[in-house]
Structure 1
Amino acid sequence: MKLNKGSLFALFAVLELAGNADRQLSTTDIAEKYGISTHHLAKVMRNLVHSGLVQAVRGVGGGYRFAGNIRRTTLLDVIELFEKLESELDMPNHGKPAGEPIVAELRSITEEIDDLTKAILDTITLETALKSTRLRREAAAVGK
Protein backbone atom coordinates (compact mmCIF):
# COMPACT_ATOMS: atom_id res chain seq x y z
CA MET A 1 0.00 0.00 0.00
CA LYS A 2 1.26 3.44 -0.88
CA LEU A 3 0.01 6.35 1.20
CA ASN A 4 -0.46 9.77 -0.30
CA LYS A 5 1.73 12.61 0.99
CA GLY A 6 -1.05 14.06 3.13
CA SER A 7 -1.50 10.82 5.05
CA LEU A 8 2.21 10.32 5.50
CA PHE A 9 2.80 13.90 6.64
CA ALA A 10 -0.15 13.60 9.04
CA LEU A 11 1.33 10.44 10.57
CA PHE A 12 4.70 12.19 11.02
CA ALA A 13 3.06 15.18 12.69
CA VAL A 14 0.61 13.30 14.90
CA LEU A 15 3.21 10.80 16.12
CA GLU A 16 5.74 13.57 16.73
CA LEU A 17 3.24 15.62 18.73
CA ALA A 18 1.74 12.62 20.55
CA GLY A 19 5.22 11.51 21.62
CA ASN A 20 5.22 14.35 24.14
CA ALA A 21 1.78 15.87 24.56
CA ASP A 22 3.15 18.66 26.82
CA ARG A 23 5.21 20.31 24.10
CA GLN A 24 4.13 22.24 21.08
CA LEU A 25 5.88 22.37 17.74
CA SER A 26 5.58 24.57 14.68
CA THR A 27 5.06 23.25 11.18
CA THR A 28 8.65 24.34 10.47
CA ASP A 29 9.97 22.24 13.39
CA ILE A 30 8.18 19.13 12.12
CA ALA A 31 8.89 19.75 8.43
CA GLU A 32 12.61 20.24 9.01
CA LYS A 33 12.88 17.11 11.15
CA TYR A 34 11.29 14.94 8.44
CA GLY A 35 12.59 16.80 5.38
CA ILE A 36 9.13 17.61 4.06
CA SER A 37 7.42 20.68 2.62
CA THR A 38 6.37 23.21 5.25
CA HIS A 39 3.68 24.51 2.91
CA HIS A 40 2.14 21.07 2.38
CA LEU A 41 2.42 20.25 6.09
CA ALA A 42 0.56 23.46 6.96
CA LYS A 43 -2.42 22.24 4.91
CA VAL A 44 -2.26 18.87 6.65
CA MET A 45 -2.14 20.56 10.06
CA ARG A 46 -5.33 22.51 9.27
CA ASN A 47 -7.12 19.20 8.63
CA LEU A 48 -5.71 17.70 11.83
CA VAL A 49 -6.90 20.72 13.83
CA HIS A 50 -10.34 20.48 12.20
CA SER A 51 -10.52 16.78 13.15
CA GLY A 52 -9.67 17.54 16.78
CA LEU A 53 -6.48 15.44 16.87
CA VAL A 54 -4.28 18.51 17.03
CA GLN A 55 -4.76 21.88 18.71
CA ALA A 56 -3.36 25.11 17.30
CA VAL A 57 -1.65 27.34 19.86
CA ARG A 58 -1.52 31.01 18.85
CA GLY A 59 0.88 33.72 19.88
CA VAL A 60 4.57 33.92 20.62
CA GLY A 61 6.00 30.43 20.88
CA GLY A 62 2.80 29.05 19.36
CA GLY A 63 2.51 25.97 17.25
CA TYR A 64 0.60 22.74 17.56
CA ARG A 65 0.06 20.18 20.29
CA PHE A 66 -1.58 16.78 20.31
CA ALA A 67 -5.20 16.89 21.49
CA GLY A 68 -6.43 13.37 20.81
CA ASN A 69 -6.42 10.18 22.83
CA ILE A 70 -3.11 8.39 22.31
CA ARG A 71 -4.54 5.08 23.54
CA ARG A 72 -7.58 5.10 21.26
CA THR A 73 -6.46 6.86 18.10
CA THR A 74 -5.22 4.38 15.50
CA LEU A 75 -3.04 4.81 12.44
CA LEU A 76 -6.15 4.12 10.35
CA ASP A 77 -7.99 6.99 12.06
CA VAL A 78 -5.27 9.40 10.91
CA ILE A 79 -4.93 7.97 7.40
CA GLU A 80 -8.66 8.04 6.74
CA LEU A 81 -8.69 11.78 7.34
CA PHE A 82 -6.69 12.17 4.13
CA GLU A 83 -7.69 9.29 1.89
CA LYS A 84 -10.22 6.57 1.42
CA LEU A 85 -8.60 3.16 1.52
CA GLU A 86 -10.37 0.92 -0.92
CA SER A 87 -9.49 -1.62 -3.52
CA GLU A 88 -9.44 -0.53 -7.06
CA LEU A 89 -8.05 -2.98 -9.52
CA ASP A 90 -7.55 -0.95 -12.65
CA MET A 91 -7.52 -3.64 -15.30
CA PRO A 92 -7.52 -2.82 -19.00
CA ASN A 93 -10.72 -4.17 -20.49
CA HIS A 94 -9.61 -4.80 -24.11
CA GLY A 95 -13.22 -5.40 -25.11
CA LYS A 96 -13.72 -8.08 -22.42
CA PRO A 97 -16.52 -7.71 -19.88
CA ALA A 98 -15.55 -6.61 -16.37
CA GLY A 99 -17.28 -9.76 -15.09
CA GLU A 100 -14.54 -11.95 -16.60
CA PRO A 101 -13.69 -14.64 -13.97
CA ILE A 102 -9.97 -13.79 -13.76
CA VAL A 103 -10.69 -10.08 -13.31
CA ALA A 104 -13.31 -10.88 -10.67
CA GLU A 105 -10.86 -13.13 -8.81
CA LEU A 106 -8.07 -10.54 -8.87
CA ARG A 107 -10.49 -7.90 -7.60
CA SER A 108 -11.53 -10.24 -4.80
CA ILE A 109 -7.90 -10.88 -3.82
CA THR A 110 -6.97 -7.18 -3.80
CA GLU A 111 -10.07 -6.34 -1.75
CA GLU A 112 -9.11 -9.00 0.80
CA ILE A 113 -5.56 -7.63 1.01
CA ASP A 114 -6.90 -4.11 1.52
CA ASP A 115 -9.34 -5.31 4.19
CA LEU A 116 -6.50 -7.03 6.06
CA THR A 117 -4.31 -3.92 5.79
CA LYS A 118 -7.11 -1.74 7.15
CA ALA A 119 -7.74 -4.21 9.99
CA ILE A 120 -4.07 -4.11 10.98
CA LEU A 121 -3.86 -0.30 10.79
CA ASP A 122 -6.99 -0.14 12.93
CA THR A 123 -5.32 -2.17 15.70
CA ILE A 124 -2.17 -0.05 15.93
CA THR A 125 -2.75 2.86 18.26
CA LEU A 126 -0.50 5.88 18.41
CA GLU A 127 0.67 4.63 21.80
CA THR A 128 1.70 1.28 20.30
CA ALA A 129 3.52 2.93 17.38
CA LEU A 130 5.41 5.23 19.75
CA LYS A 131 6.41 2.32 22.00
CA SER A 132 7.77 0.49 18.97
CA THR A 133 9.67 3.62 17.95
CA ARG A 134 11.28 3.89 21.39
CA LEU A 135 12.27 0.22 21.31
CA ARG A 136 13.89 0.65 17.88
CA ARG A 137 15.79 3.71 19.11
CA GLU A 138 17.03 1.84 22.18
CA ALA A 139 18.05 -1.19 20.10
CA ALA A 140 19.92 1.05 17.65
CA ALA A 141 21.72 2.81 20.52
CA VAL A 142 22.82 -0.53 21.99
CA GLY A 143 24.02 -1.73 18.58
CA LYS A 144 26.39 1.23 18.16
Structure 2
Amino acid sequence: MQKSSRLAIYALIELASNPERQISAAEIGAKYRVSAHHLAKVLLTLGREGWVQSIRGVGGGYSFTGNAKRLTLFDIISVFEDTNTSCKLDDPSEATDEEWVLFDVSNEINDIAMSTYSSISIATLLKQVERRKKVAMRDAAAQDA
Protein backbone atom coordinates (compact mmCIF):
# COMPACT_ATOMS: atom_id res chain seq x y z
CA MET A 1 0.00 0.00 0.00
CA GLN A 2 1.38 3.40 -0.95
CA LYS A 3 2.08 6.14 1.58
CA SER A 4 -0.74 8.38 0.30
CA SER A 5 -3.26 5.57 0.76
CA ARG A 6 -2.07 4.94 4.33
CA LEU A 7 -2.19 8.66 5.14
CA ALA A 8 -5.70 8.88 3.73
CA ILE A 9 -6.84 5.96 5.87
CA TYR A 10 -5.20 7.40 9.01
CA ALA A 11 -6.77 10.81 8.37
CA LEU A 12 -10.21 9.34 7.73
CA ILE A 13 -10.04 7.24 10.90
CA GLU A 14 -8.97 10.30 12.87
CA LEU A 15 -11.72 12.50 11.42
CA ALA A 16 -14.45 9.85 11.54
CA SER A 17 -13.73 9.09 15.20
CA ASN A 18 -15.07 12.55 16.04
CA PRO A 19 -17.00 13.89 13.02
CA GLU A 20 -18.24 17.03 14.82
CA ARG A 21 -14.71 18.27 15.43
CA GLN A 22 -12.47 20.09 12.96
CA ILE A 23 -8.91 18.79 13.02
CA SER A 24 -5.98 20.51 11.32
CA ALA A 25 -3.64 18.77 8.91
CA ALA A 26 -0.80 19.74 11.28
CA GLU A 27 -2.47 17.95 14.21
CA ILE A 28 -3.09 14.78 12.20
CA GLY A 29 0.39 14.97 10.70
CA ALA A 30 1.99 15.29 14.14
CA LYS A 31 0.16 12.21 15.41
CA TYR A 32 1.29 10.09 12.47
CA ARG A 33 4.73 11.71 12.13
CA VAL A 34 4.18 12.99 8.59
CA SER A 35 4.47 16.34 6.89
CA ALA A 36 1.35 18.49 7.20
CA HIS A 37 2.06 19.67 3.65
CA HIS A 38 1.94 16.13 2.24
CA LEU A 39 -1.12 15.33 4.34
CA ALA A 40 -2.88 18.49 3.08
CA LYS A 41 -2.53 17.17 -0.48
CA VAL A 42 -4.10 13.88 0.59
CA LEU A 43 -6.90 15.71 2.41
CA LEU A 44 -7.56 17.81 -0.70
CA THR A 45 -8.09 14.60 -2.65
CA LEU A 46 -10.37 13.23 0.09
CA GLY A 47 -12.34 16.48 -0.10
CA ARG A 48 -12.83 16.06 -3.85
CA GLU A 49 -14.23 12.61 -3.13
CA GLY A 50 -16.72 14.16 -0.68
CA TRP A 51 -15.31 12.33 2.34
CA VAL A 52 -13.91 15.35 4.16
CA GLN A 53 -14.72 19.03 4.32
CA SER A 54 -12.23 21.83 4.79
CA ILE A 55 -13.12 24.73 7.08
CA ARG A 56 -10.83 27.76 6.82
CA GLY A 57 -9.90 30.26 9.48
CA VAL A 58 -9.30 30.21 13.21
CA GLY A 59 -10.56 26.96 14.68
CA GLY A 60 -10.83 25.52 11.19
CA GLY A 61 -9.50 22.29 9.87
CA TYR A 62 -11.01 19.21 8.35
CA SER A 63 -14.08 17.24 9.30
CA PHE A 64 -15.45 13.89 8.15
CA THR A 65 -18.40 14.07 5.78
CA GLY A 66 -18.42 10.51 4.45
CA ASN A 67 -20.40 7.49 5.56
CA ALA A 68 -18.14 5.44 7.85
CA LYS A 69 -20.27 2.32 7.45
CA ARG A 70 -20.09 2.40 3.65
CA LEU A 71 -16.63 3.83 2.98
CA THR A 72 -14.26 0.88 2.49
CA LEU A 73 -10.52 0.53 2.34
CA PHE A 74 -10.87 -0.40 -1.32
CA ASP A 75 -12.73 2.87 -2.01
CA ILE A 76 -9.90 4.84 -0.45
CA ILE A 77 -7.01 2.88 -1.92
CA SER A 78 -8.50 3.00 -5.42
CA VAL A 79 -8.37 6.82 -5.33
CA PHE A 80 -4.61 6.79 -4.76
CA GLU A 81 -3.48 3.59 -6.49
CA ASP A 82 -4.09 1.43 -9.50
CA THR A 83 -6.06 -1.42 -7.96
CA ASN A 84 -5.96 -3.42 -11.17
CA THR A 85 -2.53 -4.81 -10.39
CA SER A 86 -2.97 -8.17 -12.01
CA CYS A 87 0.24 -10.03 -12.63
CA LYS A 88 1.37 -9.77 -16.23
CA LEU A 89 3.24 -12.22 -18.42
CA ASP A 90 5.91 -10.74 -20.68
CA ASP A 91 4.94 -13.00 -23.57
CA PRO A 92 1.97 -15.28 -22.83
CA SER A 93 2.52 -17.24 -26.03
CA GLU A 94 5.97 -18.32 -24.76
CA ALA A 95 5.18 -18.66 -21.04
CA THR A 96 6.24 -21.83 -19.28
CA ASP A 97 3.96 -23.85 -17.05
CA GLU A 98 5.78 -22.40 -14.03
CA GLU A 99 5.20 -18.84 -15.25
CA TRP A 100 1.52 -19.58 -15.76
CA VAL A 101 1.22 -21.07 -12.25
CA LEU A 102 2.88 -18.01 -10.67
CA PHE A 103 0.66 -15.77 -12.82
CA ASP A 104 -2.49 -17.57 -11.62
CA VAL A 105 -1.44 -17.59 -7.95
CA SER A 106 -0.45 -13.90 -8.03
CA ASN A 107 -3.77 -12.91 -9.55
CA GLU A 108 -5.66 -15.00 -7.00
CA ILE A 109 -3.79 -13.30 -4.15
CA ASN A 110 -4.58 -9.89 -5.67
CA ASP A 111 -8.27 -10.79 -5.99
CA ILE A 112 -8.39 -11.92 -2.35
CA ALA A 113 -6.67 -8.73 -1.18
CA MET A 114 -9.05 -6.50 -3.15
CA SER A 115 -12.04 -8.45 -1.84
CA THR A 116 -10.76 -8.07 1.72
CA TYR A 117 -10.18 -4.33 1.29
CA SER A 118 -13.73 -4.06 -0.08
CA SER A 119 -15.18 -5.71 3.02
CA ILE A 120 -13.52 -3.47 5.61
CA SER A 121 -15.17 -0.13 6.31
CA ILE A 122 -13.95 2.89 8.24
CA ALA A 123 -16.56 1.98 10.88
CA THR A 124 -14.96 -1.46 11.23
CA LEU A 125 -11.52 0.12 11.67
CA LEU A 126 -12.91 2.50 14.31
CA LYS A 127 -14.26 -0.49 16.28
CA GLN A 128 -10.89 -2.23 16.05
CA VAL A 129 -9.11 0.91 17.30
CA GLU A 130 -11.46 1.05 20.32
CA ARG A 131 -10.87 -2.65 21.07
CA ARG A 132 -7.12 -2.10 20.87
CA LYS A 133 -7.33 0.87 23.26
CA LYS A 134 -9.31 -1.22 25.77
CA VAL A 135 -6.74 -4.04 25.63
CA ALA A 136 -3.89 -1.54 26.11
CA MET A 137 -5.69 0.01 29.12
CA ARG A 138 -6.34 -3.42 30.61
CA ASP A 139 -2.69 -4.43 30.11
CA ALA A 140 -1.48 -1.18 31.67
CA ALA A 141 -3.78 -1.67 34.66
CA ALA A 142 -2.50 -5.24 35.08
CA GLN A 143 1.12 -4.01 35.08
CA ASP A 144 0.29 -1.39 37.71
CA ALA A 145 -1.34 -3.99 39.98
- For normalisation by structure 2, the TM-score amounts to 0.89
- Does the alignment pair 1:67 with 2:65? yes
1:47 equivalent in structure 2: 45
Instruction: Give the C-alpha shift of residue 97 in structure 1.
Output: 6.0
* RMSD, matched Cα: 1.8
* Identity among equivalent pairs (%): 37
Matched with 1:37 is 35
Shift of 1:39: 1.5
Contact kept in structure 1, 2:88 and 2:103, CA below 8 Å: no
Extract unaligned runs of 5+ from structure 1. none
CA distance in 1, matches of 2:92, 2:59: 61
TM norm structure 1: 0.90
**1:4-60 deviations in whole A, cap 9, x for unaligned?**
111011001011000111111111000000101212111101100001011111121
Detail structure 1 runs of 4+ shifted over 6 Å in the superposition.
Answer: none
Q: Could you say which residue in structure 2 is the equivalent of 1:4?
A: 2
The Cα shift of 1:142 comes to 0.2
SS at match of 1:70: coil
Q: What is the number of residues matched between the two proteins? A: 140
1:119 pairs, out of 115, 119, 122, with: 115
| Structure-1 separation of matches of 2:9 and 2:92 | 41
User: Counting helix residues as a fraction of each chain, which structure ranks higher?
Assistant: 2
